[in-house]
Amino acid sequence: MILMVALVWMLLLGGTVPLALLWKSASTRASRILLGAMTCSYLWCLVGIIFPLAIGPHYSDLRLGIINVNLWLSLAMAGAGLRVLHPKMLAIAVALWLPAAWIYIRTVSFVA
């Protein structure tokens, strides 16, 4: 069980590496704004895992709404990131990791 929890945390925190590396190569204003939004969403996701009330009360419409909005925004930002961010391999990694983290939260939020 502990191994599974450690694996989930490694997968969730693994997205911070390509995100941080993209910050080093952000040269345009658009890329910095996009990375800022992606970073805020990702950090909110991680904080929501540690402190679940950060994304709304358990089993509430507010929680589901926040998760869904962040999921759709992360998908939109991922698409924009694939066009704006360089290097492309890091952009692809973040474009997959951010929505996957929100999908994970959406999945586990309503499991008793």
Q: To which residue do tokens 């589901």 refer?
A: 64
Q: To which residue do tokens 């904080």 refer?
A: 47
Give the C-alpha separation, 82 to 90, whole Å.
9
Chain mean position to CA 20: 13
Q: Does residue 23 have a pLDDT over 60? A: yes
Residue pair 31/85 in contact (Cβ under 8 Å)? The answer is: yes
Query: pTM for this structure?
Result: 0.92
Total tally of structural domains belonging to the chain: 1
Domain that residue 38 falls in? 2-109
Quick: pLDDT tens for 33-43. Answer: 999 999 999 99
DSSP state of 54: G
